[in-house]
Structure 1
Amino acid sequence: MQVKDNAFLITGAASGLGAATAERLVAAGGRVTLCDLSEGVEALAERLGAAAVAVRGDVTSADDIRAAVDAAVAHGGERGLAGVVHCAGVVSVAKLLDREGNPADLDDYARTQQINLVGTFNVMRLAAAAMAANAPGEDGERGVIVNTASVAAFDGQVGQCAYSASKAGVVGMSLPAARELSRHGIRVMAIAPGVFETPMMEDLPEAAVEALSAAVPFPKRLGRPDEYARLAEQIITNPMLNGEVIRLDGGIRMQ
């Protein structure tokens, strides 16, 4: 699959990894439908020009994502929707027991699973239904799905039970989804980023950011959103990448 002249849906597109992916795919000649709850998604679409359209949407809503997928199919014209890069998600930090011995809030845990895990499943199922209707290309390929996991799926830190569980679920869906959708010519991959320069990191104290950067074996810095976007583009264009989770972390192993 080529990026040029093909249409892609990007969730969590208003900033960070999603915005960088949108910019890279447009630069490569693709069309993008940007989905986010933030009003910043319209501003990014305007900046990217005619190759981009914006749709406000909640990834946990069937109606919202169905509308986003329909918009992406329309934006793709005769080619329909070629791929999805799903970046929407939240970070949550909460210990099972706080300093006074009180248990973690169950609603907060459920919210993290709903957005990160159920949201991923929702986007994947609706996008796959649209891509299955595409005419097959080379090797019979009809589409590609790129989900976003996290290194926390493998080595989550203290306080990351909810977040790690949600991202481990994304990892766990990758292979069975790839196997199931292979009959439709749709590939499924996941990227597991380490610590990246995204809006999620902006609330951390400078000392914490420096400590995280120092923990990366090489290069000793936070990842840049375009480095995620470059990998997403490679996954789109390399047909042998399927059913796998790729860590993008500079070799970091969280403790």
Structure 2
Amino acid sequence: MDVADKVAVVAGGASGLGRAVCADLAKHGAAVAVLDRDGNGAREVADALPRAIAVEIDVTDAESVETAIAEAVDAFGAVHVNVNTAGVSSGAKLVSRGEPASLEDFRRVVDINLCGTFNVMRVAAAAMLRNEPDGGGERGVVINTASGAAFEGQIGQAAYSASKAGLVGLALPVAREFAGKGVRVNTIAPGLFDTPMAAGLPEAVRAGLVSMVTEPQRLGEPDEFARLVRSMVENAYINAECVRLDAATRMSAR
């Protein structure tokens, strides 16, 4: 699917990987709906793009998501691409100093990362199915963001790893559901990227992260993630795939 003149909905678009995706898709001719719980940040991103709107959203709330997708359709007439980058992390051992981890903290991470992604894609996909197919028979593309932690979660990452592994498992059954309907579902599992979260880390911690990267030995650039998103949209033969974008990083246990 050519991204030019298509409509993309990016959840988590106000910063980091999502912000880079919004900029890249807009640069290549897409209209963009920037969805984020940070309404001011979303508006800042949208204001810098030629055809964009900003919508403040709670990905865990069904009505909030349904309203956001409806606003995108009202503004641009359709939804063709949905990229989900919204997520949170929380570090906690299952048992620490004899005390069990907080069940509420676990639920919060899974609710935002896994259930929130499902919430956005279910509404976006329903809008895609109303599109007329393009010359290749495509109506839409969904791309979700997992993590290398889905495969090599470190100690203390139980909630985060479980939520990201759930996203890897989500793609195939949904892709099979949409077989013959022109909607593809893919996943990217990024490694260590130079996002605002990483920028706030002490230099020694950043150096430790970089030391785990194989080649090139540096943090990934958000633009590199955005280019892979666009490539997945454009390549009609990529479906139900999870691509690790991590420069061969394999996380240690700690």
Q: 2:203 aligns with which of 190, 203, 206?
A: 206
Counterpart code for 2:76: G
Q: Greater share of helix residues, 1 or 2?
A: 1
Deviation at 1:233, TM superposition (A): 0.4
2: CA distance between counterparts of 1:18 and 1:96?
Answer: 30
Give 2:59's aligned residue. Answer: 59
Structure 1 runs of 4+ with >4 Å offset: none
Q: Secondary structure at the match of 1:187?
A: strand
1: CA distance between counterparts of 2:10 and 2:75?
Answer: 13
Contact 1:213 1:222 in 2 (8 A): yes
Q: 2:82 aligns with which of 81, 84, 92?
A: 84
Residues 1:43 and 2:44 are matched in the alignment: yes
1: CA distance between counterparts of 2:221 and 2:71?
Answer: 29
Counterpart code for 1:13: G
Contact 1:113 1:166 in 2 (8 A): yes
Deviation at 1:117, TM superposition (A): 0.6
What are the superposed Cα offsets for residues 8-40 of structure 1, whole Å, 9 maximum, x if unpaired?
A: 000101000000000001110110000001121
Contact 1:31 1:75 in 2 (8 A): no
Give 2:186's aligned residue. Answer: 189
2: CA distance between counterparts of 1:182 and 1:75?
Answer: 28
User: TM-score by structure 2 length?
Assistant: 0.96
Q: 1:142 aligns with which of 139, 142, 145?
A: 139
1: CA distance between counterparts of 2:140 and 2:167?
Answer: 19
Q: 1:225 aligns with which of 198, 218, 222?
A: 222
Deviation at 1:43, TM superposition (A): 1.1
Contact 1:217 1:252 in 2 (8 A): yes
Q: Provide structure 1 residue ranges, at least 5 long, that are not aligned to the other structure.
A: none
Within-5 A mapping of 1:91-106: 91-98=89-96, 100-106=97-103
Give 1:69's aligned residue. Answer: 69
Within-5 A mapping of 1:226-245: 226-245=223-242
Deviation at 1:200, TM superposition (A): 2.5
What are the superposed Cα offsets for residues 165-218 of structure 1, whole Å, 9 maximum, x if unpaired?
A: 000000000111111112321000000000111123244322111111111011
2: CA distance between counterparts of 1:208 and 1:170?
Answer: 28
What are the superposed Cα offsets for residues 73-112 of structure 1, whole Å, 9 maximum, x if unpaired?
A: 22333xx1111011100111111122x2211111000000
- Over the aligned positions, Cα root-mean-square deviation in angstroms equals 1.0
Aligned pairs, how many? Answer: 251
Q: Provide structure 2 residue ranges, at least 5 long, that are not aligned to the other structure.
A: none
Give 1:169's aligned residue. Answer: 166
Contact 1:11 1:18 in 2 (8 A): yes
Give 2:9's aligned residue. Answer: 9
Q: Secondary structure at the match of 1:166?
A: helix
Contact 1:146 1:189 in 2 (8 A): yes
Q: Secondary structure at the match of 1:14?
A: coil
Residues 1:24 and 2:24 are matched in the alignment: yes
Q: Secondary structure at the match of 2:142?
A: strand
Contact 1:7 1:75 in 2 (8 A): no
Counterpart code for 1:164: S
Q: Secondary structure at the match of 1:29?
A: coil
